[in-house]
Amino acid sequence: MKYSRCGKSGILLPKISLGLWHNFAGVDVYENSKDMVLKAFDLGITHFDLANNYGPPPGSAEETFGKIVKQELSAYRDQMIITSKAGYLMWPGPYGDWGSRKYLISSCDQSLKRMGLDYVDIFYSHRPDPETPLEETMMALDQIVRSGKALYAGISNYNPEESQKAFDILSDLGTPCLVHQPSYSMFNRWVEDGLLNVLEKNGVGSVVFSPLFQGLLTDKYLDGIPEGSRASKSHGFLQSDQITPEKINKVKALNEIALKRGQKMSQLALSWVLRDPRVTSVIIGASKVSQIEDAVEIMDKLDFTNEELKKIEEILNS
CB atoms within 10 A of CB 241: 7
Alpha helices in 43-133 (DSSP H): 60-68, 101-115
Give the pLDDT band (50/70/90) at residue 242: confident
Average pLDDT estimate for 130-148: 98
Cα separation, 160 vs 164, in Å, equals 6
Q: What is the CA radius of gyration of the chain?
A: 19
Q: What is the DSSP letter of 183?
A: B
> What pLDDT was estimated at residue 221?
84
What b-and-e string marks burial along 261-278, b requiring 16 or more CB atoms within 10 Å of the CB? bebbbbbbbbbbbbeeeb
Tell me how crowded residue 281 is: count the other CB atoms within 10 A of its CB: 27
**β-strands 120-125, 81-86 pairing:** parallel
pLDDT digits (tens, 9 = 90+) for 248-263: 999 999 999 999 999 9
In the chain, where are the structural domains located? 3-215+273-303
- HSE-CB at 150 with a 13 A cutoff on CA atoms is 28
pLDDT in tens, 267-309: 999 999 999 999 999 999 999 999 999 999 999 999 999 999 9
Residue 40 and residue 24: Cα distance in Å, rounded? 14
* Residue range 150-207, pLDDT digits in tens: 999 999 999 999 999 999 999 999 999 999 999 999 999 999 999 999 999 999 999 9
Calculate mean pLDDT across residues 199-218.
96
DSSP state of 187: T
The CATH class, in words, for 3-215+273-303 is alpha beta
**Per-residue b or e along 15-26, where b marks 16 or more CB atoms closer than 10 Å to that residue's CB:** bbbbbbbbbbbe
pLDDT number for residue 236 = 54
pLDDT in tens, 79-130: 999 999 999 999 999 999 999 999 999 999 999 999 999 999 999 999 999 9
Residues near 269 by beta carbon (within 8 Å), at least 6 away in sequence: 185, 186, 211, 212, 213, 217, 218, 254
Other residues' Cβ atoms within 10 Å of the Cβ of residue 119: 16
pTM: 0.94
Q: Give the DSSP letter of residue 45.
A: -
pLDDT score recorded for residue 241: 66
φ and ψ at 120, to 5 degrees? -105, 155
When mean pLDDT is compared across 8-22, 101-115, 219-233, the lowest value belongs to 219-233
- Summarize pLDDT for 34-58 with one digit per residue, the tens: 999 999 999 999 999 999 999 999 9
